[in-house]
Each structure stands twice: as structure tokens, then as C-alpha cells.
Structure 1
Amino acid sequence: MSDSVPEADTRAEAAVPQAEPAYDPAAPAPLDVPRAPTGNAEVDAHLERLGDADHLATDGHVEVYEDVHRGLRDVLTALDARPGPPAPTRHPTTTPQ
């Protein structure tokens, strides 16, 4: 009599087909929308953030879209705020005594 444990037959386990998960139309799925680089690093970063919605349920998309919209709006606003000439400095006026 032997105290050794018999090796498991892995061939029998491999022969059993694994059940494929059932398709769930409500499950998150990537939108696979291509995003071409714009050449502006800030804009590209915000557009890449759209990919975060791919793994979220539909009700989670709103937060991502609003965040991206806010970021893109900030980038566009910054373009309008071009640096101009420095504001003149005012020296306190003294009144003669």
C-alpha cells in the first residue's frame, strides 16, 4: 500500500468544454469610436478620457462626458485668454504739503 496521492488526470478536465458567458446586452461594452490625435496634448488627453466610458454602464457615461466637456471647454477658454501687454503699474500719488 502506498501513501502517495495519485496524480489527477488533467486530460479529463481539459476535455470538458467551458461554458461561454451568456450575452448580456445590458453589460458595458466598448464603443470602439476611433479618436484621431489633434496635435494638442491637452485636447488629446481629454479625448482619450472618453475611453473610460467603455467599461461603465450607461448611467456612468454622463459623468465621463461632463468631465471631458468641462476639460475641453477650459482648453478652448484658455485659447481666448491670450497674453497681452502687462498692465501698467500705478504708483501712489503723493500730495504736496
Structure 2
Amino acid sequence: MHPAQPAESAEHEPVEPAPATDAAVPAARPAPPREAEPADAAAEEGPAPLGVPVRATGHGPVDAVLARLADVDRLGVGGHPEVYEDVHEGLRQTLAALDQPTGPPVPRAPHPSRS
């Protein structure tokens, strides 16, 4: 049997890393100066339009309700819920109106009597 080899032999000695030189590491460039903006710059400018188009559906009542969404672009965030609630309610009413019968009532067929 061979005697156990030591943990570190001449072949596997730890290697020290070479010290870094200025030529090996490029100098970092400083970031370009940024213009100082106040934290509330966006608040001073007012709301910015999102630019989300609303396409016509071809159904007049729905298109009229959806046109209200354009108000969101002119309002601050605090005014958005009111617009969205108005649009939701208008669409709900338009859908509910589709369930209402139009014209004269349809006569019902007579039920056979059970005797």
C-alpha cells in the first residue's frame, strides 16, 4: 500500500492571484450629470394623457358611454375612480336595457288544463 499523500502536494499548491495593475483594469467613466428635478415635477405638470384609443363599437349608447373615458386623460389620478364608475354604470344600464322587452307583449300560449 502506498502511504497517504498529504492534502497539498507540490502539484496542487494554492496559487496566489496576481495583483491588479492600472493597465489591466480600465478606469470607470463618471456618469453624466443629471439635471436636478423636483420630486413633485410630475404634479406640477399635471396629468399626462395615456393615449389609449377607444374604438367605436357601432352601438350608439355604448360608444357614448365609452367616450367618457377620454376624461381620464384630463384628470388627476384622484378623479379616475369617478369616471370608471360612471362608465361601468352606463355599460351596466345599457346591457340591462337589452333585456327589456320592446313592442307589445307577446301573447302566451294557453296551457292545457290538468284534470
Name the TM-score, length of structure 2 as normaliser.
0.51
Where in structure 2 are the equivalents of 1:1-97 lying within 5 Å?
24-26=41-43, 27-83=46-102, 85-86=104-105
- Output the CA distance in 1 between the equivalents of 2:61 and 2:105: 26
- Output the CA distance in 1 between the equivalents of 2:78 and 2:60: 28
- Which consecutive unaligned segments of at least 5 residues does structure 1 have? 1-21, 89-97
Name the TM-score, length of structure 1 as normaliser.
0.60
Please give the root-mean-square deviation of Cα atoms over the aligned residues, in Å.
2.3
**Structure number with higher helix proportion:** 1
- Output the CA distance in 2 between the equivalents of 1:32 and 1:43: 20
Provide the identity percentage. 57
**Shift >3 Å, 4+ stretches:** none
- Which consecutive unaligned segments of at least 5 residues does structure 2 have? 1-37, 108-115
- Output the CA distance in 2 between the equivalents of 1:67 and 1:73: 10
